[in-house]
């Protein structure tokens, strides 16, 4: 599948700064490349940055099939089509699972991995409220505020609603629609089940960047990370949750810079 993407070319005010190479950013479930503008612009001071829309997200094609292996195939196709050599990959949540799966099944392709707040294991599809908040008919709604009020019946958290609404668009006729393939994602409820072979290992250098208050990381995950990706470093942002690239952006970017400068 040919994915939609945006390229942020390498730009650094220091003429002596050399590019570290190409970087790819993979967003999480219900996200899009629009969620990563600030991070991508920041990282473009180190090299070319490609932000991708996963299948069934953003402006990438919709499909009845949605799985980590298929998204890994999409990533391979993207890398080959764009002649990208030894990229560094940053993946958040679902994007992190895709990045780790790709690395384990395509050894030697990725130069480095940055995995945000996810572990190489199975996760439940615990997103009924989010799916329901995007499943009611949008006919008759004349403003985002009206849609937001209806969504709040399912998702009380304003931050999450605003995150979801980044995939809400209005066409030239004034009608709203979801760019997400909500039905397709709802049917892919086993997308995070039994993805990884826990006997697989990778020597790729990995930074696990975690939220201290995240519900996605358990103490037992550290052993899994060490077993499958022994060449890793873990950095936890205290007080952070799953979206530390938004909520703790200054600290997040500082950590990325320090890690890239040293690695």
Tokens 């298929």, residue? 70
For residue range 122-177, list pLDDT tens digits in order: 999 999 999 999 999 999 899 999 999 999 999 999 999 999 999 999 988 889 99
Tens-digit pLDDT profile for residues 172-198: 888 999 999 999 999 999 999 999 998
Residue 251 contacts by C-beta under 8 Å, 6 or more apart in sequence? 237, 244
Residue 137, judged by CB atoms within 10 A of its CB (0-12, 13-18, 19+), counts as: exposed
Q: What is the distance between the alpha carbons of residues 86 and 90, in angstroms, rounded to a whole number? A: 13
Residues of the chain with pLDDT under 50: none
Residue 206 sits in a domain whose CATH number is: 3.40.50.1820
Kindly state whether residues 140 and 110 are assigned to the same domain.
no
136: containing domain: 128-186
- Do residue 156 and residue 246 come from a single domain? no
Asked if residue 141 and residue 98 are part of one domain, the reply reads no
**Number of separate domains in the chain:** 2
> At CA 241, angle to CA 28 and CA 29, rounded to 5?
15
């Amino acid at each position: 599948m040919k994915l939609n993407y945006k390229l942020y070319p390498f730009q650094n005010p220091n003429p002596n700064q050399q590019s570290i190479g190409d970087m790819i950013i993979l967003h999480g479930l219900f996200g899009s490349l629009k969620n990563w503008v600030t991070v991508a612009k920041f990282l473009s001071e180190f090299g070319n940055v490609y932000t991708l829309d996963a299948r069934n997200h953003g402006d990438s094609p919709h499909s009845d099939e949605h799985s980590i292996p298929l998204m890994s195939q999409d990533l391979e196709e993207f890398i080959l089509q764009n002649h990208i050599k030894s990229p560094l990959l940053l993946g958040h949540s679902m994007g992190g699972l895709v990045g780790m799966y790709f690395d384990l099944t395509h050894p030697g392709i990725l130069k480095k991995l940055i995995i945000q707040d996810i572990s190489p294991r199975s996760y439940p599809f615990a997103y009924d409220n989010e799916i329901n908040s995007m499943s009611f008919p949008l006919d008759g709604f004349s403003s985002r505020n009206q849609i937001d009020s209806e969504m709040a019946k399912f998702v009380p958290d304003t931050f999450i609603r605003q995150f979801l609404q980044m995939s809400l668009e209005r066409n030239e006729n004034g009608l709203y629609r979801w760019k997400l393939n909500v039905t397709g994602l709802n049917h892919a409820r086993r997308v995070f089940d039994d993805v990884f072979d826990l006997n697989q290992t990778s020597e790729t250098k990995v930074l696990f960047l975690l939220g201290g208050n995240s519900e996605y990381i358990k103490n037992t995950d550290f052993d899994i990370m060490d077993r499958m990706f022994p060449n890793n470093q873990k950095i936890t942002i205290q007080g952070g949750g799953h979206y530390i690239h938004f909520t703790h952006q200054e600290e997040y970017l500082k950590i990325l810079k320090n890690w890239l400068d040293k690695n």
